[in-house]
Amino acid sequence: MEKDESIAVTTGAMVDETAPDEKLKKLRDLKNHHHWDPNLPEDVAEELVEALHTSDKRTQEVIAQELLENSPYPEVRSAVSNIDEGGSVNTIRAWVIGLLFATIGSSLNMLFSMRQPYIVIPSYIAQVVAYPVGKAWEAWMPDYTFNFFGYKAELNPGVFTKKEHTIAVIMANATFGGGAAYATDVLLAQRAFYVQNFGWGFEILMCISTQMMGFGMAGFFTRFLVQPSAMIWPSTLINTSLFTALHDRTKPDPESVAGWKIGKYQMFLCAMIGSFCWYWFPGYIAPFLSVFAWVTWIKPQNVVINQLFGGVTGLSLIPMTFDWTQISGFNFSPLIAPWYAISNTMIAPTHKRL
């Protein structure tokens, strides 16, 4: 059987002449676990079947190393490293940066939740901004060591590591990764429509209690929805890929990437600068690009046309926009989720209009 070399993962480990029964058992469990997995590449499934049915012990060992030492999904392998890159994580720098962005991000998301269109500041913003802050701390903070409740802490532990960056972003993501707390919608409705104000103590306790319920349910379902390798979360892959782009400056091999010469870091800078420059047009210079209801330009005062094609005043039957905030305001970025998930979301408004 011809194999796709792009799927195989070379570990560099020595291959034994006999395949241990432990690895064969794990391969059987892997096959049973991914039996109905639509995301598993066909080549990986074929390699898995070959490893379980071949009598060649060397082939079994090689395939076992390929499938057990790394993720069977190419999307995950390209975004998540399977080795420990070292470096410190529990540092004063990581705690300060993480708590700082958790506070600022939560405040901004609460403010923007009352804006139209609704803007969500995701954890990617904290991830991008935390990197230059961490590098500035690395360059300018003095190398000072002190004792903190018996713990020897360094004000500047050296290079701003990927682990420090990750733990800071985890703090930010836990506080405002999904936007403002859902309970704030209830509190705003109470004040605006029902003229109810139970005081700041009630509001704080309501937000904390509802958020804790969410964290508790997340922890309860972790073994079912997070730990199994078949549970792919595309939004998390964006975070891990960005971590690699910011901290790994190696250039790609042009022969293996169709002649591409710039690295992930340079590509990210180009995309970020381009996005920053373009948003000035739909945001401030030419706001009509945000809701491009060109049909209403024919007869702006016509009530029927406005009710049918108006972006703000009607049903927007021909929805067009050149504003990324309009596209990602409610369903987040369509570049993250796979096509079948996006199409499933599109079915709902289509049926609603029919």
Q: What would the pLDDT profile of 200-223 be if each residue is shown by its tens digit?
A: 899 999 999 998 998 899 899 988
Average pLDDT for 80-89: 83
55 and 117 belong to one structural domain? no
34 and 139 belong to one structural domain? no
pLDDT at 30 over 60: yes
160 and 230 belong to one structural domain? yes
174 and 238 belong to one structural domain? yes
Structural domain range at position 163: 92-242
Q: What is the pLDDT of residue 352?
A: 60
Q: Is residue 25 part of a domain?
A: yes
54 and 187 belong to one structural domain? no
98 and 36 belong to one structural domain? no
Segment among 37-51, 98-112, 262-276 with least mean pLDDT: 37-51
Report the candidate in 322, 315, 313 with the shortest Cα–Cα distance to residue 292.
322
112 and 158 belong to one structural domain? yes
Q: Is residue 96 part of a domain?
A: yes
Q: Is residue 132 part of a domain?
A: yes
**Angle at 248 (CA atoms; ends 247, 252), nearest 5 degrees:** 155
**Angle at 84 (CA atoms; ends 88, 131), nearest 5 degrees:** 50
Alpha helices in the chain (DSSP H): 21-33, 42-53, 57-68, 74-79, 92-112, 123-140, 162-176, 183-193, 200-220, 222-225, 234-247, 264-280, 303-309, 324-328, 339-353
217 and 155 belong to one structural domain? yes
Q: End of a domain among 210, 242, 274? A: 242
107 and 167 belong to one structural domain? yes
Q: Is residue 318 part of a domain?
A: no
Q: What is the DSSP letter of 289?
A: G
62 and 116 belong to one structural domain? no
pLDDT at 10 over 80: no
Identify the residue with better confidence: 186 or 120. Answer: 186
Q: End of a domain among 221, 242, 263? A: 242
- Quick: pLDDT tens for 308-336: 888 778 888 888 888 888 877 666 677 88
Share of the chain above pLDDT 70, in %: 91
Report the candidate in 324, 339, 340, 330 with the shortest Cα–Cα distance to residue 178.
330
124 and 96 belong to one structural domain? yes
Share of the chain above pLDDT 90, in %: 16
pLDDT at 14 over 70: no
103 and 232 belong to one structural domain? yes
Q: Is residue 296 part of a domain?
A: no
Q: Is residue 128 part of a domain?
A: yes
107-115: which pairs have CB atoms within 8 A and are 24 or more residues apart? 108/176, 109/176, 109/179, 109/180, 110/180, 110/181, 110/184, 113/179, 113/180, 113/184, 113/185, 114/188
Q: Is residue 299 part of a domain?
A: no
Q: End of a domain among 195, 214, 242? A: 242
Give the integer Cα–Cα distance in Å for 169 and 127: 6
Q: Is residue 191 part of a domain?
A: yes
How many structural domains compose the chain? 2
